[in-house]
Structure 1
Amino acid sequence: MELQDKVVIVTGGGSGMGRDACLALARAGARVVLGNRRQAEGEALVKAIGAAGGTALFRATDVSKPADCAALVALATDRFGRLDGAFNNAGLQREFNDIHATPDEDIADVIDINLKGILYMMKYEAAAMLASGGGSIVNNSSIFGLKAMPRLAYYVAAKHGIVGATRAVALDYADRGIRVNAVCPGPIKTPSYDRVTGGDDEMYSGGVPMHRIGAPGEVSAAVLWLLSDRASYVTGVALPVDGGMAAA
């Protein structure tokens, strides 16, 4: 019951790990404020949560735009009067390329959404949480926020940046009631993963010590724990949810 009636923002909540986290939060009794670029996905998820007896709001949100990030946080505080938690999940990946062959727009878009988007969201979330008396922020990095991947420098840079920003912001607010952590998923069965692999679930399983890819619910379980008071003494952590990849 730690999350009952808590107000929690989720970005990139329309599909994949974000969608699963929204559903898990709603089942735990949280009031979910969902931001997503694709409006149809966001609206459909709000309807599904409402049909199951939960509470959710949606705003079309592009986290690369600071005004959109501010508006999403304002939606939460205006409707519910506070902000207790956030899962900053929105992100994207483009093609695999050596850096000399990586299109400029791929570098710009991934840095703008994956890294700058999380910085913008934390800026406005932290201000709202200070006004609410505290809270918990969880950022979605990646196993490639902890180790490298060839032909993906722009993505690895963004995800490493998320880990660094998470640790720095955790120190900023450690004595002011706001905890800030990151999850670092390995390969997870999502629509994004299927686009990269063509639906081949075994393509990357050989690089995972558990010899399987993960399920979105395994990431959501870690996110909900970090958002809850059960993790009350945990801040500045980059938690791998990766089947052992970080240890290999």
Structure 2
Amino acid sequence: MNNIIFITGASSDIGIQLIRSLTEECLIIAHYNTSLAPLTEVSKEISNVLIPIQADLASESEVCNLLDYVEENYGVPNKIVHLAAAKFENVRFKDIEWPKFQDEILLSLKSVILILNRFLPKLAKEKRGKVILMLSSVTINVPPKALVQYTTVKYALLGLMKSLASEYADKGININAISPSMIETKFLSLINEKFVEISAASNPMKRNATVNDVIPVMLLLLSDESQYINGINIPITGGSIF
């Protein structure tokens, strides 16, 4: 298969809808940690072959084993979408200890560094590749209070994206990010409902984002039509600037 898409956090609401929306012929490598059922169900709806693979991305050894397995059995993915992240949770800085930061860094940042470190040099030789990192509107707007570990990691991912986009721009590889405002998915299960309501009310469109607001942008960035889009962090915020 010449077109291999590797999605981390593929069992998330966004991951499942992205898989559904991939109409081009491709092999989909769908990473998950604990939730296999959504991937099993969506595989029955699509024409593309979907390969679910379990790994705890907070474990370096599991990430490396995952990458070994993918490369040995399916080859080097030419499209990589990094969705994996810890659940959104409000915790004030005074209440956070270093392990909380470390957990989020390992899951969201270190894992994608390992993935890209493995695959980007090989894609550079082929002069092709697409990478999308899921960031957040906290990297564009003033972040809400009590999200320090989440915001810190998202800014680190932004720096990674910008740096790699510059380094690989002449290698035929497009590396971009998207930054939606709050999306109403199961990712918000640890958030107070009042906070979700306030977010919707403060948005110019008087609602939070939906999965279907995000997917079209991702499909564009994965398509051949995005060859001249590189190093961009695209806001999907309904016009919100603060």
Q: 1:242 to 1:94 in 2, by over 3 A?
A: closer
Equivalent residue number for residue 193 of structure 1 = 188
Q: 1:43 to 1:205 in 2, by over 3 A?
A: closer
Q: Deviations over 1:111-170 (max 9, x none)?
A: 221222222222123134235442000000111122322111111100111111100010
Give the conservation status (yes or no) of the 8 Å contact 1:208–1:243: yes
2:33 equivalent to 1:37: yes
Cα distance in 1 between the residues matched to 2:30 and 2:165 = 23
2:20 corresponds to which letter in structure 1? Answer: L
The percent identity for this pair of structures is 20
1:99 maps to which of 90, 93, 113? 93
Cα distance in 1 between the residues matched to 2:89 and 2:97 = 9
Scaled by the length of structure 1, the TM-score of the pair is 0.86
User: What is the correspondence of 1:225-240 to structure 2 with a 5 Å cutoff?
Assistant: 225-240=220-235
Number of residue equivalences:
241
1:151 corresponds to which letter in structure 2? Answer: A
Equivalent residue number for residue 160 of structure 1 = 155
SS at match of 1:206: helix
Cα distance in 2 between the residues matched to 1:35 and 1:103 = 29
Q: CA deviation at 1:82?
A: 3.6
Q: Structure 2 unaligned segments of length 5 or more: list them.
A: none
Q: Structure 1 unaligned segments of length 5 or more: list them.
A: none
SS at match of 2:191: helix
Cα distance in 1 between the residues matched to 2:40 and 2:120 = 25
Equivalent residue number for residue 169 of structure 2 = 174
Q: 1:98 to 1:51 in 2, by over 3 A?
A: closer
Give the conservation status (yes or no) of the 8 Å contact 1:86–1:136: yes
Equivalent residue number for residue 11 of structure 1 = 8
1:109 corresponds to which letter in structure 2? Answer: D
Scaled by the length of structure 2, the TM-score of the pair is 0.88
* RMSD (Å), alpha carbons: 2.4
1:21 corresponds to which letter in structure 2? Answer: L
User: What is the correspondence of 1:39-54 to structure 2 with a 5 Å cutoff?
Assistant: 41-42=35-36, 44-54=38-48
